[in-house]
Amino acid sequence: MILIVAEHAGGQLAKSTLEMVTAARAVLESGGGREGPVTILVLGQNVAEVANAAAAVADQVLVADLPGLATYNAEVWAAATAQIAQEGEASVVIIGGSRSGREYAPRVAVKLDAPYLEDAIALKANGQALQAQRYTYLARVTETVEAEAPVIVVTVKPGSFAPAAPAPAAGEQYDVELDLPAPRVEVTGRSVEKSSRVALTEADVIVTGGRGVGSPENFATYVEGLADRLGAGVGATRAVVDAGWRPYAEQVGQTGKTVQPKAYVALGVSGAVQHLSGMGKSKYIVAINKDAEAPIFKVADYGIVGDVNQIVPALIEAARK
């Protein structure tokens, strides 16, 4: 079987889970002897709705609805996943390429003595081997890697595969029992930074502000103002997040989110390599910066050398028409 661990939040199946189903089908269609069924494992508590949504796209769904799974914990998630992979003799284990997914997937690989293909953007069989593509060197290089073993653990980069459409018939659901370890990391406080806007990873258009925007007040006026006009998500550079102007949830880049919108509008952003690695695959990049030498212009499709204080109000005004 091909085992996918569902990503879900707030009682909703995440789009990334549908993308993982497409990745699983890509493995099956490319041959290589790895076989279905495409199985989604749902870990959590009170996850009946998530399981139903998963059943709409998978051949079967394994549901572990347990109090011990109420909140994510790397050791617990790894133990649960490895146990099901072993019992079901999975030949591929697919985990989401979110921060948490890439945190527990290596533990699953070690438990299963499996090779690990991390953050895949494409996946297929190459004979007996499983072959993946991934970005390296701050997303400047695309690399093809492969591994051969009875079971291989893969994480899939969000946004790299089309979400699977519902299958003609819903998959069967089965409850599973698990032997869970006691979590050793205790969470003593939690700060959820939710942006009230379109999720960055889903937005068609993103307006991002950098330090060149000048102040938190300007950020609200210019970046949010333009985003409102364009129905866009709001992004920020690390410099802006470190300065406390914006929440970490909006950070784009190596240590923030990777985004791939149709249009990425960068206001007062210098274009450091760590920022480019998170947005460089956007379809169109627009840059407004007062420094004609700013590196962001090298990757821009449309650029305006100018002051955000002058250009952005004009843009907001023009977009209103």
Q: Nearest Cα to 264, choosing from 212, 311, 223, 293?
A: 223
| Total residues belonging to the chain | 321
Does the annotation list 144 as a binding residue?
Answer: no
- Taking CB under 6 A as the criterion, the residue among 8, 34, 134, 211 binding ligand FAD is 211
Instruction: Name the binder of 240 from another protein, ligand FAD, none, CB < 5-8 A by kind.
Output: ligand FAD
User: Does 270 help bind ligand FAD (rule: CB under 6 A)?
Assistant: yes
User: Does 255 help bind ligand FAD (rule: CB under 6 A)?
Assistant: yes
Judged by CB, which is closer to ligand FAD: 126, or 274? 274
Instruction: Name the binder of 246 from ligand FAD, another protein, none, CB < 5-8 A by kind.
Output: none
Instruction: Name the binder of 131 from another protein, ligand FAD, none, CB < 5-8 A by kind.
Output: another protein
Q: Treating both helix axes as pointing N-terminal to C-terminal, what angle do 74-87 and 99-112 enclose, rounded to 10 degrees?
A: 50
| Piece of the chain touching another protein by CB under 8 A; list 20-28, 48-56, 60-68, 189-197 | 189-197
Helix, strand or coil, per DSSP, at residue 175 = strand
Residues 275-314 vs ligand FAD: string with x where CB under 6 A?
x--x----------xxx--x------------xxx-----
Whether residue 83 contacts residue 179, with contact meaning beta carbons closer than 8 Å, is answered with yes
Least Å distance between CB 210 and ligand FAD? 3
Residue 178 dihedral angles phi and psi, to the nearest 5° = -140, 150
Strand 263-267 vs strand 152-156: parallel, antiparallel, or unpaired? unpaired
Residue 125 dihedral angles phi and psi, to the nearest 5° = -85, 145
User: Does 94 help bind ligand FAD (rule: CB under 6 A)?
Assistant: no
Footprint on residues 60-119 left by another protein (CB under 8 A): 72, 74-75, 78, 98-100, 102-107, 109-111, 115-119
The binding site for ligand FAD (CB under 6 A) comprises 210-212, 237-240, 251-256, 268-270, 272, 274-275, 278, 289-291, 294, 307-309
